[in-house]
Amino acid sequence: MIIILDFGSQYTYLIVKSVQQLNVSCKVMPFDVAISEILKIKPEAIILSGSPFSVLDDDAPFCDKRIFELGIPILGICYGMQLICHLLDGRVEHSLKKEFGYVELIVDEKHGLFEGLETGDVVWMSHSDKIEKVPIGFETFSSTVNTPFVAMQNKAEKIYAVQFHPEVSHTEKGLFIFKNFIYNICGLKPNWTPGSFIEKASKKIREKVGDAGVVLGLSGGVDSSVTAALLHEVIGDKLIPILVDTGLMRKNEVAEILKIFENVGIHIEVVNAKGIFLEQLKGVTDPEEKRKIIGRLFIEIFEKEALKFDNIQFLAQGTLYPDVIESSSSKTKDGPSVTIKSHHNVGGLPEKLNLKLIEPIRELFKYEVRVIGKELGLPDEILFRHPFPGPGLAVRIIGDITEEKVAILQEIDFIFIDELRKNYYYDRIWQAFAVLLPVQTVGVMGDDRTYENVCALRAVNSLDGMTADWTKIPYNILRKISNRIINEVKGVNRVVYDISSKPPSTIEWE
Ligand code: XMP
């Protein structure tokens, strides 16, 4: 078991993913956890995450300095490296120059932590402070053009650190660092499998739910579908999956989902709530307000539906790790990271919920959810659908939402996805969708002037939604899509393509 001390980085859970990818168990703990709690777990290694703070801030999160005396191997990442320096009497200073994005490594020692790495390998940096002096007993073995101390080690004490982020996919050989640290330096062996997850999760579900019934918010996306399959496997018909037709779904989506679930033998209750969603969202333009309203409506509907069945005590949701970390803020128990968006299945929950929450895949990432779903026998049609956000098209219509705008966006989205499929490109993309902008531009159709809306197309590749890069869809496919949208969708006369990566952008526009 490895402990990851969380100092509030947006990427802490990517560290979890990296460790799990090596099939080793890990547990995230708050940065200020008592030494006695750490010792109870008997960890074989400790990883210190990054942080939005500087170690020089008055309110910077520090761990107990005594963790360096436990004889347990430690790996510090970014802030984690600076913290090791700061606490062990090295020197960290503010720097005028920020180092952000891709940089090339200069590697002085190609073994130990850097086995398999070499000069010229690309890593991803995100720091503004710099290390001026490493602590006594440490040696450095890598640098970049801007940063003299990129990696350091104290082999005798088994304390290692890197200034860049090996956990993000932008660092090409990031997994080498974890592999070298976990397998070679700590001597751990792989032991995590999808089967072991299902077994543990089923046991937890049984213990928690007992004889009670569970309602589940099914969107037809991978997360809620896998949650449904997992719960159905454990509690059978005591699971009541509810599909809320918000009117903000994609074209034909409700019918398609019903058909897929009919085929796998899971019955679904459909609630038509189009009217109430549109009414409550009328005139609302603020993205966070939209998300909160939608989250509240979902919960109200589930609570009401639950009363129609016997002994329903739980509400199940397909919340994932990235949803949890991106919705947490400094005020929550999840740690000192900053709120990016309130994902509806976390941020919109009311203070007092009449149902107890059950989120059996809360510790997983999307790619793991797909592996689990496959193990549970779900068809690829569900597992490889592009992700779709809980708030649906509401966060893809910038500005206020009307029935007419929803209908326009459904048509655009339909054409986009249809062309991707026809050109065998859908499966090469992690997520593709269209966004309707509250911007009108001048165009010319035949001999007439038009003054209509702009839509944006977005397609990204990602492992988990935490980081993403825009997809280089071939121009000929983009041309077909754009032509069809402008010709077939009334009200749109311009199509633009979003070429931003995450970070610094997010995947959805709101
Ligand atoms: P962002 O926009 O935060 O999106 O970069 C990351 C991934 O999460 C999806 N997403 C959501 N999923 N409820 C969900 O279930 C939500 O409120 C929500 N908001 C964003 C998004 O589509 C992308 O796959």
Query: Closest Cα to residue 158, out of 110, 222, 112?
Result: 112
- Cα 328 to averaged position of ligand 1 atoms, centre (Å): 14
The verdict on 401 and 372 lying in the same domain is no
Catalytic residue among 167, 253, 326, 363: 167
The verdict on 234 and 305 lying in the same domain is yes
Query: Residues 232, 218: contact at Cβ < 8 Å?
Result: no
The verdict on 373 and 234 lying in the same domain is yes
Among candidate residues 128, 163, 185, the one where a domain is terminated: 185
The verdict on 283 and 147 lying in the same domain is no
pLDDT at 320: 84
- Cα 508 to averaged position of ligand 1 atoms, centre (Å): 7
Among candidate residues 151, 185, 219, the one where a domain is terminated: 185
pLDDT at 346: 46
The verdict on 108 and 147 lying in the same domain is yes
- Domain-embedded: residue 230: yes
Whose CA is closest to atom 12 on ligand 1? 389
The verdict on 337 and 251 lying in the same domain is yes
Atom of ligand 1 nearest to the CA of 387: 24
- Cα 306 to averaged position of ligand 1 atoms, centre (Å): 26
Whose CA is closest to atom 16 on ligand 1? 343
- Residue 506 is which amino acid? T
Positive or negative, the CA dihedral 144, 146, 149, 151 is: negative
pLDDT at 152: 97
* Ligand 1 proximal residues by C-beta, below 6 Å: 291, 323, 326, 341, 343-345, 387, 389-391, 431, 465, 502, 506-508
Catalytic residue among 26, 63, 78, 455: 78
pLDDT at 445: 86
Among candidate residues 383, 406, 422, the one where a domain is terminated: 383
The verdict on 258 and 346 lying in the same domain is yes
The verdict on 368 and 459 lying in the same domain is no
The count of structural domains within the chain is 3
- Domain-embedded: residue 13: yes
The CATH number of whichever domain residue 469 belongs to comes to 3.30.300.10
Instruction: Please tell me the total number of residues recorded for the chain in this structure.
Output: 510
Atom of ligand 1 nearest to the CA of 347: 17
Is residue 386 annotated as a catalytic residue, yes or no? no
The verdict on 128 and 216 lying in the same domain is no
pLDDT at 334: 42
Q: Quote the CA–CA distance of 107 and 251 in Å, as a whole number.
A: 52
- Domain-embedded: residue 459: yes
The CATH number of whichever domain residue 334 belongs to comes to 3.40.50.620
| Low-confidence residues in the chain, pLDDT < 50 | 329-335, 346-347
Atom of ligand 1 nearest to the CA of 326: 3
- Domain-embedded: residue 391: no
- Domain-embedded: residue 503: no
pLDDT at 332: 33
130: containing domain: 2-185
- Domain-embedded: residue 58: yes
pLDDT at 366: 79
The CATH number of whichever domain residue 136 belongs to comes to 3.40.50.880
- Domain-embedded: residue 389: no
Mutation choice for ligand 1 from 507, 509, 510, CB with most ligand atoms inside 8 A: 507
The verdict on 207 and 126 lying in the same domain is no
Interstrand relation of 356-358 and 448-461 (parallel, antiparallel or unpaired) = unpaired
- Domain-embedded: residue 72: yes
Sheet of strand 213-217: strand arrangement: 269-272, 239-245, 213-217, 312-316, 356-358
Is residue 111 annotated as a catalytic residue, yes or no? no
pLDDT at 324: 65
The verdict on 166 and 294 lying in the same domain is no
DSSP secondary structure letters along 140-199: EEEE-SS-S-SEEEETTTTEEEESS-TTSTTSTTHHHHHHIIIIIIS-------HHHHHH
Is residue 165 annotated as a catalytic residue, yes or no? yes
Mutation choice for ligand 1 from 343, 385, 386, CB with most ligand atoms inside 8 A: 343
Catalytic residue among 86, 165, 232, 344: 165
pLDDT at 17: 81
The verdict on 292 and 345 lying in the same domain is yes
